[in-house]
Amino acid sequence: MPISVSHSESVNIQFEKSFSLEKVRSALDNFEGCKVIDERIDGGYSTPLEAEGKDETFISRIREDKTIKNGLNLWIVSDNLLRGAALNAVEIAETLIKNNFYGK
C-alpha cells in the first residue's frame, strides 16, 4: 500500500465456542499490548497513520460475521517496525532478563 509505516489487517475468525462481543472487547482491551478503538461512528476506528510510533496493537471494527457459525470480523493495525520488529525484540530481551535467562 502507498503507506509509510504500520500494517493493517482485515481478519475473519471462526471460533469453536460461542462468544459475546462484550467479552471479545474486554478480553482484547485487557490484554497487554492491545488496545480497542471501536466506536461505530465516523472515525471511530484506528488507521495506520495513528498507529505509527505507538507500542500498542489497535483493534477496531469488531463485529459478528453472521454468515458463519461463531464468526468474528476485526480490523487490526500496528506499527510494523515496533510490534513487528524492534519493540518485540526488546520485549524478548526484557523477558529473558526478568527470568534470569532461563538458566542460560
Partner 1 sequence: MNIAIVGATGNVGRKTLEVLEKKELPFDNLYLVASSKSEGQKIIFKGKDHEVLNLENFDFSKVKIAFFAAGKKISEKFAEKAAKHCLVIDNSSFFRMDPDVPLIVPQVNSSHLDQIKKNIIANPNCSTAQLVIACKPLHDLFVIKRIVVSTYQSVSGGGKAPMDELIEQTKLVLDGKNVKSKNFTKQIAFNAIPHIDVFADDGYTKEELKMSKETKKNFR
Using the rule CB under 8 A, which residue among 32, 41, 43, 67 binds partner 1? 32
How far is it, in rounded angstroms, from Cα 60 to Cα 73?
Answer: 9
Q: Which is nearer to partner 1, 40 or 88 (CB)?
A: 88
Interface with partner 1 includes 11 (CB under 8 A)? yes
Using the rule CB under 8 A, which residue among 21, 39, 40, 85 binds partner 1? 85
Residues that contact partner 1, how many (by CB under 8 A): 59
> Least Å distance between CB 45 and partner 1?
13
Q: Which residues contact 37 (CB under 8 A, 6 or more apart)?
A: 44, 45, 46, 58, 59, 60
Interface with partner 1 includes 67 (CB under 8 A)? no
Interface with partner 1 includes 37 (CB under 8 A)? no
Interface with partner 1 includes 12 (CB under 8 A)? yes
**What HEC string does 26-92 produce?**
HHHHCCCCEEECECCCCCCECCHHHHCCCCCEEEEEEEEECCCCCEEEEEEEECCCHHHHHHHHHHH
Interface with partner 1 includes 21 (CB under 8 A)? no
